[in-house]
């Protein structure tokens, strides 16, 4: 006997979990498609050289990397961003730009497994490649706004900043050579607090005065995007970053969504490759969940693979966090975890009865699970209940049926197929 275990950091997805994940991903896909974004797919396995780029360091150690039977140095992808860069370079002549793509797939990282961290997990990325302007920046923000609104996660704020402003600010302080260290320290603000950031900045070699100025900069009032922008405009004048943010504000106002955005100079996103706007989301009633949707502009993503200049802007939805938020809200998306509308009981005296009744219900648009086991009625009802199927159909006589609602135990007799369809799917 072989023990049927899974690897550390890997998971089986049970039906109730998988239904929730698929419903959420379908909802996100529907929104992305309504914006004209198109899906792509890339291999799970790539040449290590392609995935690593100039890389090394942490990513390298975390990769599932091996030599295949043909002697090639290969690895499983650890994100969907590097494969996107490789993909647009490889398929440049076949794509039309601006290229709006989404990619929802698994990635693998050999990290130390811990609460909420797995070695195999889903990523939902959407990016726009080939253009660097305010409209593309804004469209990603509008998409994030649409996703959060339609998911009904309560009130939220999308917090935006611009890497260029912080860079200019650090140049002014004469510490541009420390910019990577500073932005990584600031990125930790929510985790370690103001004092923690202060300590790291000092360790990084900033003077007391520089540290105080950086802390002042990231604490600029953020109650309204427009107010913060006018404060920053006084500091930076009509710089390209300020012009870009003003244009984005104009579009937010035209779409009537500006109140859900703030300009927050403490947002940096740790990663090196961002070059323009960066953003995170905040659920106002559940700040502990963290950012569900983050991203930014990177203007030299595919530079490793092509001489074409391919600026991009994009974002990534944190599926696990989104599910955590919806669970906290007891959202119907996570509580109603069944696709079947009814279960049809089996009938010992007429082996074809159950399948033919279920077939008639399906023809009316009802999802009908026909019970195929050989247990008594009690266990059949238990099956429906365990699977979250809301109604059970049983025989009465001829063309009329009994329908029991599992939640209330209420039985309605004498229903025709049409009447059952109307009862269990009133929206049809």
Q: What phi, psi does 342 have (nearest 5°)?
A: -140, 155
Sign of CA dihedral 386, 389, 390, 392: negative
Q: Residues in the chain, how many?
A: 428
Q: Which of 58, 116, 117, 133 binds a copy of itself (CB under 8 A)?
A: 133
Q: Within positions 149 to 188, which residues make up the interface with a copy of itself, using CB under 8 A?
A: none
Residue number with CB closer to a copy of itself (76 or 170): 76
Residue number with CB closer to a copy of itself (39 or 287): 39
Please list, in sequence order, all residues whose beta carbon lies within 8 angstroms of the beta carbon of residue 292, skipping any fewer than 6 positions away: 148, 153, 281, 283, 317, 318, 321, 322, 325
Q: Nearest distance from residue 139's CB to a copy of itself, in Å?
A: 6
Residue number with CB closer to a copy of itself (46 or 79): 46
Q: Within positions 353 to 382, which residues make up the interface with a copy of itself, using CB under 8 A?
A: 353-356, 358-359, 362, 366-374
Q: Nearest distance from residue 373's CB to a copy of itself, in Å?
A: 5
Cα 41 from Cα 87, distance rounded (Å):
9
Q: Nearest distance from residue 266's CB to a copy of itself, in Å?
A: 27
Q: Within positions 287 to 306, which residues make up the interface with a copy of itself, using CB under 8 A?
A: 304-306
Terminal Cα-to-Cα distance of the chain (whole angstroms)? 50
Q: Nearest distance from residue 341's CB to a copy of itself, in Å?
A: 9
Q: Within positions 75 to 114, which residues make up the interface with a copy of itself, using CB under 8 A?
A: 76, 86-87, 89-91, 94-98, 100-101, 106, 108, 110
Q: What phi, psi does 37 have (nearest 5°)?
A: -75, 140
Please list, in sequence order, all residues whose beta carbon lies within 8 angstroms of the beta carbon of residue 64, skipping any fewer than 6 positions away: 75, 76, 108, 110
| Tokens describing residue 297 | 């502009």
Q: Does 343 bind a copy of itself (CB under 8 A)?
A: yes
Cα 414 from Cα 403, distance rounded (Å):
9
Q: Does 74 bind a copy of itself (CB under 8 A)?
A: yes
Q: Does 421 bind a copy of itself (CB under 8 A)?
A: no
Q: Does 394 bind a copy of itself (CB under 8 A)?
A: no
Q: Within positions 309 to 338, which residues make up the interface with a copy of itself, using CB under 8 A?
A: 338
Q: Does 349 bind a copy of itself (CB under 8 A)?
A: no
Q: Which of 28, 124, 126, 130 binds a copy of itself (CB under 8 A)?
A: 130
Q: Within positions 10 to 29, which residues make up the interface with a copy of itself, using CB under 8 A?
A: 10-15, 18-19, 21-22, 29
Q: Within positions 256 to 285, which residues make up the interface with a copy of itself, using CB under 8 A?
A: none
Please list, in sequence order, all residues whose beta carbon lies within 8 angstroms of the beta carbon of residue 371, skipping any fewer than 6 positions away: 343, 344, 345, 346, 354, 380, 383
Q: Does 427 bind a copy of itself (CB under 8 A)?
A: no
The continuous run of DSSP H or E covering 335 comes out as: helix 332-335
Q: 3-class DSSP state for residue 384?
A: helix
Q: 3-class DSSP state for residue 261?
A: strand
How crowded is residue 143: how many other Cβ atoms within 10 Å of its Cβ?
24
């Amino acid at each position: 006997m072989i023990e049927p275990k899974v690897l550390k950091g890997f998971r089986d997805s049970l039906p109730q979990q998988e239904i929730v994940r698929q419903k959420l991903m379908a909802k996100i896909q529907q929104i992305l498609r309504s914006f004209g974004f198109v899906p792509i797919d890339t291999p799970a396995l790539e040449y290590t050289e392609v995935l690593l780029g100039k890389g090394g360091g942490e990513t390298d150690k975390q990769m599932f990397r091996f030599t295949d039977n043909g002697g090639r140095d290969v690895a499983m992808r650890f994100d969907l961003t590097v494969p996107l860069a490789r993909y647009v370079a490889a398929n440049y002549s076949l794509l039309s730009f601006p290229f709006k793509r989404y990619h929802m797939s698994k990635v693998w990282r050999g990290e130390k497994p811990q609460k909420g961290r797995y070695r195999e997990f889903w990523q939902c990325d959407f990016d726009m490649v080939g253009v660097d302007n305010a409209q593309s920046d804004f469209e990603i923000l509008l998409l994030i706004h649409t996703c959060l609104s339609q998911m009904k996660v309560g009130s939220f704020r999308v917090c935006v900043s611009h890497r260029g402003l912080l860079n200019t600010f650090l140049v002014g302080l004469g510490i541009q050579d420390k910019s990577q260290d500073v932005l990584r320290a600031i990125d930790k603000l929510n985790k370690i607090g103001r004092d923690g950031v202060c300590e790291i900045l000092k360790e990084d070699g900033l003077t007391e005065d520089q540290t105080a100025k950086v802390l002042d900069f990231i604490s600029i009032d953020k109650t309204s995007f427009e107010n913060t922008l006018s404060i920053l405009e006084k500091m930076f004048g009509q710089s390209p970053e300020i012009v870009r943010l003003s244009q984005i504000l104009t579009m937010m106002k035209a779409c009537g969504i500006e109140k859900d955005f703030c300009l927050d100079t403490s947002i940096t996103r740790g990663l090196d490759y961002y070059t323009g706007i960066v953003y995170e989301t905040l659920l106002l009633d559940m700040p502990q969940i963290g950012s569900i949707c983050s991203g930014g502009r990177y203007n030299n993503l595919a530079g490793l693979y092509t001489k074409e200049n391919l600026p991009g802007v994009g974002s990534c939805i944190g599926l696990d966090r989104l599910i955590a938020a919806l669970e906290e809200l007891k959202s119907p998306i996570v509580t109603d975890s069944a696709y079947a509308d009814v279960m049809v009981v089996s009938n010992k005296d007429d082996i074809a009865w159950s399948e033919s009744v279920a077939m008639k219900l399906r023809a009316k648009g009802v999802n009908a699970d026909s019970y195929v086991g050989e247990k008594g009625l009690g266990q059949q009802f238990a099956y429906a209940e365990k699977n979250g199927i809301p109604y059970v159909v049983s025989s009465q006589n001829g063309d009329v049926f009994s329908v029991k609602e599992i939640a209330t135990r209420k039985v309605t007799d004498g229903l025709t197929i049409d009447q059952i369809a109307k009862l269990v799917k009133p929206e049809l």
